Structure 1
Amino acid sequence: MVRFEAVGLRYPGGGPHSGSWGPEALVDVTFALPQGSFTWLLGPSGAGKSSVLRLMHLALRPTRGEVEVLGLRTAQARRAALPPVRRRIGVVFQDFRLLPYLSAFDNVALPLRLAGQPEGTLRGDVTEMLRWVGLGNRADALPPELSGGEQQRIAIARAVVHRPALLVADEPTGNLDTHQARRLLALLREMNRLGTTVVVATHDEDLVARFPAPSLLLRDGRLHDLDAARGLDQADAEEQPDG
């Protein structure tokens, strides 16, 4: 489903046309995620979590190494090969990215309309998805009229309305209170139960403990063994002097 092999990633160091590159944001990242899995992507701010997710949803190509997503090897793939694969991937952003001038219904319907689905059939799909996230009564509301939790649920509905094979979520609970965060994760786990492969980047340890699942840990752009890293953190804490 998703495979990274010795992936390195650099961003332009002086702008896209400068010809210079910054240090590696990802260094020799290797892992594989099976179809139908749910995976936490863990690590502090700046560890490289967003870079991994951007490679997964084909917003970037690796500087070196190989990324394979839904059977497509992206490093050398032709540009024309990317859109069909992108349409099989759902993305949930921390900042929602809803269009403020469209209703909740029209925001959720947007991916289906872009894919050319007839209005007569998409209406039922969108209505069902709004009910699934508990917002069937808010279909006509504009995003500014919705709470943060409601906007995030609309963003999830938009990401999954086309039944993606892969769903990636970048810190989706960062702007939510504990109750809303747990509700959102329950929706993602339900989507996974229905067959979608789900990857969620977070630094919320409470959520990870409440919803146990395999995890990848990034630090300084490198993958680390999760149990070993926790052992080192515990040892560091014990060595700190009291007071």
Structure 2
Amino acid sequence: MVRFSRVGLRYPEGRGAWALSGLDFMLEPGSFTWLLGPSGAGKSSLLRLMHLSLRATEGEVQVLGADVARLPRRGFPGLRRRIGVVFQDYRLLPHLSAFENAALPLRIQGVAEARLTADVREILRWVGLLDRADAAPAALSGGEQQRLALARAVVSRPALLVADEPTGNLDEAQARRVITLLREMHRLGTTVIVATHSEALPVEYPAPALRLEAGRLVDHG
């Protein structure tokens, strides 16, 4: 599903410093994996390589069977449509309703209106927001906004779901609810990787983990 081989990443503005170095790991299809490490360890950079918003400086990144370095530009849109991304800062569009934010991936794909409406209503019901479908993002609580961001990420039923600190801004109850939804996606067959600096969540919800320190993988188990 995902394979990193001797992967390194250096940002042009980083004056030669490596954000990631020597990464070797594989995510099996249908797995759930924690990505652990303190702030600044490189978790977001690794996830950006995984959801194709960055290209590695060195090494080989394979995602959903594609060698990213050799993938022609025309191949990126189709591959990205198979990857769902949940951002810590939600990235909801303030001028769109909750329904339209969740529907955005399907509209970009040109899905017919009848199917789009059914799929969006189903996913909003799943995250507990169907009664808030007409609300603007600003009218939602932080937990509701994060669940809406999750709904948008999974409405097109991605093969790979990448979540970057999805509970970082939530209270304990809301964090548990979001993790429960992510684990449900895993049970439905999606490959899920969740970045967190929390040490408590992986103890409460045991699963294999990758641990980063200063851009290097120090544990894979």
TM over 0.5: yes
Distance 2:157 2:104 in 1: 14
1:78-117 mapped onto 2 (5 Å cutoff): 78-117=72-111
Distance 1:121 1:13 in 2: 45
Distance 2:76 2:130 in 1: 33
Secondary structure of residue in 1 paired with 2:19: strand
Structure 2 stretches lacking a partner, 5+ long:
none
Distance 1:72 1:226 in 2: 23
Distance 2:130 2:178 in 1: 16
1:128-143 mapped onto 2 (5 Å cutoff): 128-143=122-137
Structure 1 position 120, deviation (Å):
1.3
Deviation per CA, 1:77-102: give whole Å up to 9, x if none: 21111111000000000000000010
How many aligned residue pairs are there?
221
Q: Counterpart in 1 of 2:191?
A: 197
Secondary structure of residue in 2 paired with 1:224: strand
Secondary structure of residue in 2 paired with 1:164: coil
State the identity as a percent.
Answer: 68
User: In the alignment, which of 205, 211, 214 is matched to residue 208 of structure 2?
Assistant: 214
Distance 2:18 2:220 in 1: 22
Deviation per CA, 1:152-176: give whole Å up to 9, x if none: 0000000000000000000000110
The runs of 4+ residues in structure 1 deviating greater than 2 Å are none
Give the structure-2-normalised TM-score. 0.98
Give the structure-1-normalised TM-score. 0.89
Deviation per CA, 1:127-181: give whole Å up to 9, x if none: 0000000111000000000000000000000000000000000000011000000
- Larger RCO: 1 or 2 (CA < 8 Å, sep 6+): 2
Q: Counterpart in 1 of 2:12?
A: 12
Q: Counterpart in 2 of 1:238?
A: none
Q: Which has the larger radius of gyration?
A: 1
Distance 2:115 2:138 in 1: 28
Distance 2:46 2:73 in 1: 20
Q: Counterpart in 1 of 2:30?
A: 36
Structure 1 position 76, deviation (Å):
2.6
